[in-house]
């Protein structure tokens, strides 16, 4: 269906257009309030000065689209997809955004989400600098790898949210509920965490340098390996992050690493070994450590992300982060997938800090995985 055909039918009173294919189309200055477009495909389309108030847009696909000055007031966008979209001056006030995917959006600015339902929304990898979302209910949302510098989530409900590897420098998290939240390896420098509720939250490997933590009970959270506000790494004497009897940067005795946060290596009795100041991590594939089975099927980007998360857990158990990785070897079944694999792989490293890397084509990998990665890091 072409846009003009739909507009003509809408003007005649028709409102039901479920599942229509409107990809690669252009829309400007139209009011489609109360329309039913459930499951419609708008991927790679352009929208400007559009109105979708009170519309049914469940499961709609807006991935790769550009949206400017668009109103979705009180619309139902449950499980809609905006992956890799460009979003500017969007009004989602009062909308149901449950399960919406915004990850990797190239722009996410001037967004109004007042009184919207924002449960289990995926914001991973997007720039959310300076966003003011105090008093929001954000339970279960994914904010991993966002740039949330100066973000304001004061008094918001962020229970069970994922902030892994997020940049939250100077963030305002005062009185925020972070119970059960994942803040592993997050940058929380100078963040305001006063009176934040952190029961069962994980700050493993996080950087809390100069953070304000008054009246936050960190005894109820995981903080092993975190850089505390005074600049010291938290590593209590009664806690061992490695399995072995001796350790040390210059130790010539092997110290083996095994953590429950990463799966067993398919080819090795241990996940990693520390010796002579280096950490050698056995090849990891996309096994979920909770179930110890492959969950990513054939999607190379999902498999790569799972592999890198597994390696990240082992690095954390060894007391270091991604900046210490100096060498990686990547084994792939199909080298034509290298670009897609690398788009995920490279996101785990900061600019100018990529390790040297060798990519090897193989005919088969354990568990029919599409990618396997081993690496070496310094202590």
Residue 32 tokens read as 């489609």
Tell me the sheet residues that pair with 279: 274, 377
DSSP result, 119-142: SS-B-TT-B-TT-B-TT-B-TT-B
Equal fold, 129-137+146-239 vs 255-378 = no
> 57 near 100, Cβ under 8 Å?
no
Tell me the sheet residues that pair with 219: none
What span, in angstroms and rounded, lies between the C-alpha atoms of 47 and 187?
35
Which phi and psi angles does 26 have, rounded to 5°?
Answer: -120, 135
What span, in angstroms and rounded, lies between the C-alpha atoms of 281 and 261?
14
Per-position pLDDT tens, the chain of length 379? 899 999 999 999 999 999 999 999 999 999 999 999 999 999 999 999 999 999 999 999 999 999 999 999 999 999 999 999 999 999 999 999 999 999 999 999 999 999 999 999 999 999 999 999 999 999 999 999 999 999 999 999 999 999 999 999 999 999 999 999 999 889 999 999 999 999 999 998 899 999 998 767 776 888 887 888 888 877 654 333 343 333 334 455 678 888 888 888 777 888 999 988 899 999 999 998 877 788 766 789 999 999 999 999 999 888 888 999 999 999 999 999 999 999 999 999 887 788 999 999 999 998 889 999 999 999 8
The whole-number pLDDT of residue 91 equals 98
> 229 near 211, Cβ under 8 Å?
yes
Q: SS3 of 324, please?
A: helix
What span, in angstroms and rounded, lies between the C-alpha atoms of 127 and 303?
24
The whole-number pLDDT of residue 76 equals 98
Residue spans of alpha helices (H) in the chain = 3-11, 300-317, 338-345
> 84 near 106, Cβ under 8 Å?
yes
Per DSSP, 241 falls in state S
Radius of gyration of the chain (CA): 23
What span, in angstroms and rounded, lies between the C-alpha atoms of 344 and 124?
12
The whole-number pLDDT of residue 157 equals 97
Residue spans of alpha helices (H) in 205-320 = 300-317
Angstrom CA distances, 71 to 53, 126, 131, stand at: 6, 21, 19
Non-local (6+) Cβ contacts of 275 within 8 A are 251, 252, 253, 254, 255
Show me where the domains of the chain are located: 1-122, 129-137+146-239, 255-378
Per DSSP, 325 falls in state E
Q: The CATH number of 255-378 is which of 3.40.50.12280, 2.40.110.10, 3.30.70.100, 3.30.1330.40?
A: 3.30.1330.40
CATH number given to 1-122: 2.160.20.80
Residue 165 tokens read as 């590897």
- Our CA angle for 61, 67, 72, nearest 5°, is 75
Task: Give the chain's count of helices (H) and strands (E).
Answer: 3, 13
Q: Which fold has domain 129-137+146-239?
A: Pectate Lyase C-like (2.160.20)
The whole-number pLDDT of residue 296 equals 65
């Amino acid at each position: 269906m072409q846009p003009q055909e739909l507009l003509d039918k809408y003007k005649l009173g028709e409102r039901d257009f479920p599942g229509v294919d409107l990809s690669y189309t252009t829309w400007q200055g139209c009011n489609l309030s109360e329309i039913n477009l459930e499951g419609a495909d708008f991927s790679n389309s352009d929208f400007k000065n559009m109105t979708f108030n009170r519309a049914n847009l469940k499961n709609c696909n807006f991935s790769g689209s550009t949206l400017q000055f668009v109103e979705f007031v009180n619309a139902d966008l449950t499980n809609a997809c905006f992956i890799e979209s460009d979003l500017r001056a969007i009004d989602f006030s009062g909308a149901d955004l449950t399960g919406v995917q915004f990850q990797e959006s190239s722009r996410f600015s001037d967004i109004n989400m007042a009184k919207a339902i924002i449960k289990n929304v995926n914001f991973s990898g997007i720039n959310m600098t300076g966003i003011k979302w105090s008093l929001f209910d954000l339970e279960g949302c994914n904010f991993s790898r966002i740039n949330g510098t100066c973000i304001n989530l004061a008094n918001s409900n962020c229970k069970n949210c994922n902030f892994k590897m997020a940049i939250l420098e100077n963030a305002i998290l005062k009185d925020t509920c972070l119970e059960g939240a994942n803040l592993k390896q997050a940058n929380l420098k100078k963040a305001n965490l006063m009176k934040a509720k952190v029961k069962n939250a994980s700050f493993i490997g996080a950087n809390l340098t100069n953070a304000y933590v008054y009246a936050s009970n960190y005894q109820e959270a995981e903080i092993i390996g975190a850089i505390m506000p005074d600049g010291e790494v938290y590593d209590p004497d009664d806690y061992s992050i490695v399995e072995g009897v001796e350790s040390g940067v210059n130790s010539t005795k092997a110290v083996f690493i095994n953590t429950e946060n990463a799966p067993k290596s398919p080819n090795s009795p241990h996940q990693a070994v520390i010796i002579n100041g280096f950490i050698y991590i056995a090849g990891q594939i996309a096994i979920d450590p909770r179930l110890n089975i492959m969950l990513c099927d054939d999607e190379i980007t999902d498999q790569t992300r799972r592999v890198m998360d597994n390696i990240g857990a082992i690095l954390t158990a060894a007391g270091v982060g991604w900046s210490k990785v100096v060498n990686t070897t990547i084994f792939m079944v199909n080298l034509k997938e290298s670009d897609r694999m690398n788009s995920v792989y490279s996101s785990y490293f900061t600019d100018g800090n990529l390790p040297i890397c060798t990519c090897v084509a193989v005919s088969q990998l354990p568990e029919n995985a599409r990618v396997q990665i081993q690496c070496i890091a310094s202590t």
